[in-house]
Structure 1
Amino acid sequence: MSDEQESHALERIEPSRAMRTYTIEGMDCSSCALTIENHLKMNTAVKQVSVHFTSGKMTIEHDNSVEEVIQAVAQAGYKAVPAGSVGRSREATKNRSENNAVVIAGVLLVCGFLGSHAGVQSMLVNALYGIAIVIGGYKPARSAYYAARSRSLDMNVLMTAAVIGAAAIGEWLEGATVVWLFALGNMLQARSIEKTRDSIRNLIDLAPAEADIRSGSQLLRKPVEEIRIGEMMVVKPGNKIPLDGTVVAGQSSVNQAPITGESIPVDKLPGDPVYAGTINEEGLLEIQATKLAQDTTLAKIVHLVEEAQEKKAPTEAIVDKFARVYTPIVFLLALAVMIFPPIIGFGAWSAWFYKGLELLVVACPCALVISTPVAIVAAIGNAARNGVLIKGGAFLELAGKVSAIAFDKTGTLTEGKPMVSQVIPSEGSDAELLAIAYGLEEYSTHPIAKSVVQYAKERGIAPARGEQFRNLPGKGVGAIIHGQLYYAGSMTLFQELRASLGGLGEQIRALQQEGNTIVIVGTVDRMLGVIAVADRIRAASVAAISGLRREGIREVIMLTGDNEGTAKKIAALTGVTRSGSELLPENKASVIRQLQEEGHTVAMVGDGINDAPALATADVGIAMGGAGTDTAIETADIVLMADNLEKLPHTMRLSRTAMRIIKQNIAFSLMIKAAALILIFPEILTLWIAVISDTGAALVVILNSMRLLKIKN
């Protein structure tokens, strides 16, 4: 036996506790998940288990082997496959056989119905109905058996009991019709649910399975799972980028829409980062892999979206609690209706038995149970496709209730990159002022110093050579140039030097009121002039804030540590309704709390790091630029993968629409159930109408939720 075979054998024999994910095949109704959960909870080796109908996934912590878990799920009537190894062709074959069963049962039902009206013997007609019941009802009956063994009172149990009861009192046509409508409804539900699950499968399929790797002078084809960090990938025009990496050679435009939702391709040069699943549009690129296949940004997105779809929203939890109480109550009521009225002589046994069967069919609130999770799956899938990560139904619900949004200024509403806006010499020329400033700021790492240096470089100005450089923290810099001690710094620095600003004082104050940061250049005795530096507003900020106001956001607040003049200028240009200036991180959190005390549900938009207190205090924390930082992806409730705000109005609209659809689904489901219950006793409802009210309502709820997949940015 080889070492590998021995290790596999030991894995089968010696179980170890692990949290694993499985895909469940054959789970085509909302009650299936509870049956599997209940069955596995009876197994002492299972520590915790959660089955999610909408995503088709099961997460389970167990002490026994994978094979034993698969066998336990099989005993519940379903098939478990370790996540990532599902055979789609096998699933397609299974679906075809189930579809064929529905068609054959339907044909037999029609033949029996036509035969009964053509004078065919009732025994033969009932035989056709009986065969239709067996063919169409085999799968629900099998699921009912396992559900009963697992002590689950699901729709399969109730429907099977109703069909057996109908046959027992001679209602063969009713029984066959109920079976066929139930099977048809489940088939349509399964198809519709698959479309919502495909929103995640499509994400997974974004990354190619193989890549071209440069090895010396050769190109080798290699599975992405085998590529190591540091290997060189060659991506041809039109191909997808296999892994996250850094461009080493070549230049091209890369379509990053699959990751960030950006509609315009981004130019990539050597040194720029690229992401798995994005598309190289033009030139040949050589890319050095920086992450393994399981650690790429795309892999994290898929993992987070799958997790998000499995997290129950508050509304979903409330509905589940209601359903767990409602179903046994109606089931007991059905038994009471079958037994007590005939006992006390109030009508015939057959009539009340039939009413009890109708109550059994109405007892399972399928449409109500799936009204929330299907909508959440569809909304989260849509958001992910548009470059927005929503980390769960709870955050989707909260986002739908947001009435106030607070923005960090630097790096969020603005680009976070200060740029020279004005050069004002008091004597001499712009060139002389910039040459001295360049010479002073050349060795500084401060962002404002860098912006001055960059501005001078772009204009072809050479730096004045200096010596004896000194750094004055928080104030500026100094150096000896041309035998004199020059300074470049703030108003505070020159006031401490007791330098005369002359006529520059008023100009400086005016520039500061307009939102500029001021760099004064000169000596103690001579002012060369002033350089005004300002942070540029993002192109998408104004449109995003306008879009948020259209979506019903009442308050848009800007929070910044900058001075009041800068805050007022940015506020006026972007259209925010309030602004707070000179705020420390803890002060920003206080502003959030104040908004909450005013009755607002508050979202905070920041970079996910510097604004941590405010993001944590807000009802919903929204981080920008998730594609470039793991911290943003891990800490925020919602992540805008692109480094701009253009997707924020879409996110708010999607959340609000999702909440509206969830309310519609719940109201519709309850109305249908109430109507069905009311119509039983006037003898208007029949078994087959009861089935339509249940499976039909579930299908309507699914189709209504699927509208969320079509909402566009």
Structure 2
Amino acid sequence: MNDSPAEQRAVKRAGIRATAAFLGLLALAVLRQSHAPMIGVYLCTGLVMLAGLPIVIRTVRTLSRKPTPTFDLLVVLITAGCLFLHMWLEASLFVVLALLTDVLNAGIAAHAGSHLLTFAAAETRRLRVKRGAEAMEVAPDGLQPGDVVMVEQGMSIPADGVVAGGLGEIMEASLTGESAYRQAAPGSKVLAGSLLQSGTLNVRVDKVGQDTAMAKVHQLVARAARSPSRLQGLLDRFAGVYVTLVLGLGVLVFLFAGQVEFSMTRIPLRAALARALLVMLAFTPFAIILLGPLSTYLALLRAARRGVVFKSVRWLEKLASVRNLVLDKTGTLTYARPAVHEIKLFAASSEKELLSAAMFVERQSSHPVARAIQEHARAFDLEEDVPERFLEFEGGGAAAMKGERHIKVGALWFMEDGREIPADVSAWLQEKEQQGYSMVMVADRTRILGGFALEDQVREDARQVLEDIRRMGVRRILLLTGDNPTVAERVRQALGLDDAMAECMPDKKIQCILNERSRHGPTAMVGDGINDAPALAAADTGLAMGALGSDAALAAAGIALLENNLDGLREAFAASRRVAWIWRIGLGMILLVDFSLAAWAFFAPMTPVQGILMQMLLVGLTLLLCLRAWLD
């Protein structure tokens, strides 16, 4: 996606005006130093004023629609006052500062989101495509759903789709911020913008252009970067009051300096006007105007590159006030896949014997339970034994046979084929099921060899991430889960959470969220963005985890965590806290400098050039402070 032509033209025009004004200012400074004829001074000043004419036009249009003082009006009046006092260099310098602020604001508005996500090489080369029975070359914007496009090593995948042929490794860092490789094989889903690091893929296109996951994320980020911040809204609402106060202060200074003075002797009216202009100049809001948009834009840019998408600046601001965090368990704090927690031996003489029997069956299966047992068995040097027959039963388990060797793996009822279930087996099963584990038994023709207790594995980094979030100011962390109380309490203790609510259906989750908000204040909810959508909507701030590629997930919450890990959650909180800190420090710094300049202008002989240069320095310090939103 590119910036709109109108926005590009606006930035170009603002840049041309600022450049012309700056050149005119340089020429004026040279002429002043060389004591050149005044005609040259007038011409250079006229060039600068001509470049600043759009500010005057904008002011007149605004006042014609709504007669309320604006920041532009303050700029116009200060410039007019400088011209009236024949302060040509000062007036030109002030206009250049105003135009530079315009350029920065226009650039932020125009380029919001345009550099966050790119299609890289896919945009610059023609693609080999098979469309029906016909092979052809097309440009990336010529792709259609149903096309099969060949993607070679080093190319970016140009559209969302499914691998129809080939093998390769892809990296989705441009989408998720995660620099990890993923295997792509026939049937694998791939997303536009992913980079093929090795291999060759034939991708059947599902979505193109604006319908791809990458384009939708791009649109969300661009829309967020253009949305007004709370600071900007505050400035917009109180601009009239602020400008009126500054103008009123200028009038008071003019009257006081012209009539009273500390020596009780009057000073010339021109000197009194100059002093009033200096005091007004001290409160010009260029730095404040830049503080909000630039800091939030850089924060959104940084977050998006790390796989966190704020749908608007409002969500960035609201997350900064959150002090209570509610998390769904499955898929959020856990991997949403089973892992072996405990092995129990019955008739088997060793763990290796039990695993050998289980792998005789599970090596043939792709069921999540089978994968968990396969993963656990990797630590053992087991001989591979291929069965002659393999049968898989939905909801029960699987069986494999080879000669006289018959092995079953599955639930207890799958073992009840006329054999007697020993009491110790039944007791162990009952104990572990009460604790919330999923049970899988292994048996041969006559004996129960042993069993596996499986659980949804807690993410390794979950505790550390939550501790980091606590250090950012979150006071209370609560777990919501549909599991039984034993499982909920086990996860709560493992992660050091404050509370856990078990057996929560969607309606109960909503009630829990509402209770947290009423008792403990602003509350954020983290879930998968689909099953937890009602609870996400009920929270002050909803964060959808693993939202990439899911329209429902991207629509479910104010913040989308694209990667399916907790790093994005930590980054989201860090971004919100960082921007809030920048605003507090920035406003304090700006007000301190403004009042210091005003005191300097009133009590000491500060020149207009010195005042404008100090404002330029303040703008520079504000830019450096805003860079803190980008840096670690």
**TM-score (normalizing by structure 2):** 0.81
Q: Provide the residue aligned with 2:247 in structure 1.
A: 331
**Displacement after TM superposition at 1:686 (Å):** 3.6
1:178 aligns with 2:91: yes
Distance across 1 between alignment mates of 2:310 and 2:347: 56
Q: Provide the residue aligned with 1:206 in structure 2.
A: 119
Q: Which moved more, 1:190-199 or 1:149-158?
A: 190-199
1:301 aligns with 2:217: yes
Distance across 2 between alignment mates of 1:198 and 1:567: 46
CA 1:279–1:663: 2 relative to 1, 3 Å: same
CA 1:305–1:625: 2 relative to 1, 3 Å: same
Counterpart of 1:313 in structure 2: which amino acid?
Answer: S
Q: Equivalent residue of 1:415, what SS?
A: strand
Q: Which moved more, 1:235-244 or 1:694-703?
A: 694-703
Task: Give 2:285's match in structure 1, choosing from 349, 360, 365.
Answer: 365
Q: Equivalent residue of 1:582, what SS?
A: coil
Q: Which moved more, 1:677-686 or 1:662-671?
A: 677-686
Residues 109 and 177 in structure 1, CA contact (< 8 A), matched pair in contact too: no
Taking the TM superposition and a 5 Å limit, the aligned residue runs for 1:90-105 are 95=15, 98-105=18-25
Q: Provide the residue aligned with 1:568 in structure 2.
A: 489
Q: Equivalent residue of 1:372, what SS?
A: helix
Counterpart of 1:135 in structure 2: which amino acid?
Answer: L
Q: Provide the residue aligned with 1:132 in structure 2.
A: 44
Counterpart of 1:131 in structure 2: which amino acid?
Answer: L
Counterpart of 1:381 in structure 2: which amino acid?
Answer: L
Residues 311 and 559 in structure 2, CA contact (< 8 A), matched pair in contact too: yes
**Displacement after TM superposition at 1:478 (Å):** 12
Distance across 2 between alignment mates of 1:189 and 1:168: 24
Taking the TM superposition and a 5 Å limit, the aligned residue runs for 1:516-531 are 516-519=437-440, 530-531=451-452
Could you report, residue by residue, the CA deviation over 1:163-219 in whole angstroms, capped at 9, with x for unpaired residues?
A: 3333333xx3x3322312441564377359747965622235435335403247986
1:273 aligns with 2:186: no
Q: Which moved more, 1:695-704 or 1:449-458?
A: 449-458
Could you report, residue by residue, the CA deviation over 1:280-324 in whole angstroms, capped at 9, with x for unpaired residues?
A: 111122211111201111111121112112323334322332323
Q: Equivalent residue of 1:294, what SS?
A: helix
CA 1:236–1:528: 2 relative to 1, 3 Å: closer
1:289 aligns with 2:205: yes
Distance across 2 between alignment mates of 1:466 and 1:622: 42
**Displacement after TM superposition at 1:341 (Å):** 7.8
Q: Provide the residue aligned with 1:410 in structure 2.
A: 330
> What is the number of residues matched between the two proteins?
605
Counterpart of 2:56 in structure 1: which amino acid?
Answer: A
Task: Give 1:626's match in structure 2, choosing from 525, 528, 547.
Answer: 547
Residues 74 and 243 in structure 2, CA contact (< 8 A), matched pair in contact too: no
Q: Equivalent residue of 1:234, what SS?
A: strand
CA 1:161–1:628: 2 relative to 1, 3 Å: closer
Q: Equivalent residue of 1:183, what SS?
A: helix
1:659 aligns with 2:574: no
Distance across 1 between alignment mates of 2:19 and 2:375: 68
Distance across 2 between alignment mates of 1:379 and 1:135: 37
Q: Provide the residue aligned with 1:705 in structure 2.
A: 626
**Displacement after TM superposition at 1:590 (Å):** 3.5
Distance across 2 between alignment mates of 1:106 and 1:431: 82
Q: Equivalent residue of 2:79, what SS?
A: helix
CA 1:466–1:238: 2 relative to 1, 3 Å: closer
Gaps of 5+ in 2: none
Task: Give 2:168's match in structure 1, choosing from 245, 252, 255.
Answer: 252
Distance across 1 between alignment mates of 2:394 and 2:26: 90
Could you report, residue by residue, the CA deviation over 1:317-365 in whole angstroms, capped at 9, with x for unpaired residues?
A: 2233232311133235545665798699965432333234335535642
Distance across 2 between alignment mates of 1:108 and 1:194: 27
Residues 482 and 504 in structure 2, CA contact (< 8 A), matched pair in contact too: yes
Q: Which moved more, 1:182-191 or 1:101-110?
A: 182-191
Counterpart of 2:42 in structure 1: which amino acid?
Answer: G
Task: Give 1:507's match in structure 2, choosing from 428, 433, 436.
Answer: 428
CA 1:460–1:420: 2 relative to 1, 3 Å: farther
Counterpart of 2:194 in structure 1: which amino acid?
Answer: T
1:394 aligns with 2:327: no
**Displacement after TM superposition at 1:452 (Å):** 7.8
Q: Provide the residue aligned with 1:145 in structure 2.
A: 57
Q: Equivalent residue of 2:238, what SS?
A: helix
Q: Provide the residue aligned with 1:559 in structure 2.
A: 480
CA 1:160–1:501: 2 relative to 1, 3 Å: same
Distance across 2 between alignment mates of 1:667 and 1:683: 23
**Displacement after TM superposition at 1:659 (Å):** 0.7
**Displacement after TM superposition at 1:638 (Å):** 1.2
Q: Which moved more, 1:542-551 or 1:409-418?
A: 542-551
Distance across 2 between alignment mates of 1:559 and 1:289: 38
Task: Give 1:599's match in structure 2, choosing from 514, 520, 541.
Answer: 520
Distance across 2 between alignment mates of 1:293 and 1:221: 17
Residues 141 and 160 in structure 1, CA contact (< 8 A), matched pair in contact too: no
Distance across 2 between alignment mates of 1:535 and 1:162: 67
**Displacement after TM superposition at 1:221 (Å):** 3.9
Counterpart of 1:311 in structure 2: which amino acid?
Answer: S
CA 1:252–1:574: 2 relative to 1, 3 Å: farther
Distance across 1 between alignment mates of 2:394 and 2:53: 85
Q: Equivalent residue of 1:651, what SS?
A: helix
Q: Equivalent residue of 1:503, what SS?
A: helix
Distance across 2 between alignment mates of 1:111 and 1:593: 69
Taking the TM superposition and a 5 Å limit, the aligned residue runs for 1:569-584 are 569-584=490-505
CA 1:369–1:164: 2 relative to 1, 3 Å: closer
Q: Which moved more, 1:338-347 or 1:569-578?
A: 338-347
Distance across 1 between alignment mates of 2:568 and 2:466: 11
Distance across 1 between alignment mates of 2:52 and 2:374: 74
Among the aligned pairs, what percent are the same residue? 24
**Displacement after TM superposition at 1:380 (Å):** 0.8
Q: Provide the residue aligned with 2:536 in structure 1.
A: 615
Q: Which moved more, 1:589-598 or 1:126-135?
A: 589-598
1:351 aligns with 2:271: yes
Residues 361 and 390 in structure 2, CA contact (< 8 A), matched pair in contact too: no
Distance across 2 between alignment mates of 1:270 and 1:488: 29
Q: Provide the residue aligned with 1:60 in structure 2.
A: none
**Displacement after TM superposition at 1:614 (Å):** 2.5
CA 1:477–1:710: 2 relative to 1, 3 Å: closer
Distance across 1 between alignment mates of 2:398 and 2:171: 46
Task: Give 1:227's match in structure 2, choosing from 140, 143, 167.
Answer: 143
Distance across 2 between alignment mates of 1:102 and 1:337: 31
Q: Equivalent residue of 1:290, what SS?
A: strand
Q: Provide the residue aligned with 1:647 in structure 2.
A: 568
Aligned CA-pair RMSD:
4.4
CA 1:437–1:571: 2 relative to 1, 3 Å: farther
